[in-house]
A = this chain, B = another copy of it.
């Protein structure tokens, strides 16, 4: 099943069911007004949404309309939790190597996760509005899962059953703000502005056998200003799978329905697969040539993040957005 949230002028948008081919959609209003409400009572709501999904795919839905990703908000326009991992440890190692720092060996065994802001997510075709190019604007292509209620102390082997939906993420990062912020010891804050999500969230069964071992075994395609810059396989070099990330999150607390957990920047050791964030490219340049030469994003730059199935069809729809300047003074 594929679900989207449409812009309707409200904070949480309008839940819609979207056909497998992403061509048509159907309002879920009689069933659940918002995706959060569906997740709050998934066992009761999901089967009703599934019936609409079947009708849509069969071309038999009575009130189907053309699906337009530009009308989408993030599937959860605001969420109660957004926790982002860094499961492609290869990426972390590269970043450290570029600044001549040793990565602790424990990073291969103990997941890195930071708590992100979740009150103001960006739709897949919305502008990334920021005040300054000097902040070092970067994209980060990721896969994320959405859970139902996960009790404190849940182990990895139980955590898989709590995954209800998958999405793609653009975890926008402000690279030039990161060093000073991490030096303070409290983690990312200003350096992680609002994140963007794919037009639709999909249930794990949509992925078939490319969803196994708690990972999505497909390339994540990232295009920057029309040029394909990366297509690493999200199932390769993911050191911690989603159930392990969920268990890490829930070690000392409950995670409630609608919790979003990100994979971190998808990164393969095979550098021929390219990059899903500019920082990684710059690290490779620093290691090879002593200096980074690829600049970060400028106002007007576009980034497109998408995942195609084995038949070349888009699974989640594309995050496709440009960077735009904010007015500097607001009231």
A-side interface residues toward B, CB under 8 Å?
Answer: 11, 40, 78-81, 83, 86, 104, 106-107, 110, 112-120, 129-131, 135, 151-154, 158, 174, 177, 182-191, 193-194, 248-249, 251-259, 326-331
Contact = CB atoms under 8 A, between A and B. Distances in A.
Contacts of A40: 11
A253 to B, nearest CB: 4
A187 B190 contact: no
B177 A252 contact: yes
Contacts of A83: 117, 189
A151 B248 contact: no
A296 to B, nearest CB: 14
Contacts of A251: 190
A258 B79 CA distance: 12
A117 B120 CA distance: 15
B78 A330 contact: no
15 contacts: A78-B80, A80-B80, A81-B117, A86-B186, A104-B184, A114-B186, A119-B254, A130-B252, A131-B152, A153-B327, A153-B328, A153-B330, A158-B330, A187-B188, A190-B248
Contact of A152 (B79, B80, B129, B177): B129
Contacts of A131: 152-153, 252
A56 to B, nearest CB: 29
A115 B189 contact: yes
A224 B142 CA distance: 45
Nearest to A85: B186
Contact of A120 (B120, B154, B189, B254): B254
A135 B153 CA distance: 14
Given A152-B330, A187-B187, A330-B153, A256 B80 contact: no
Q: 3 tightest CB-CB pairs across the interface, nearest first?
A: A187-B187, A80-B119, A151-B330
Contacts of A253: 117, 120, 193-194
B189 A158 contact: no
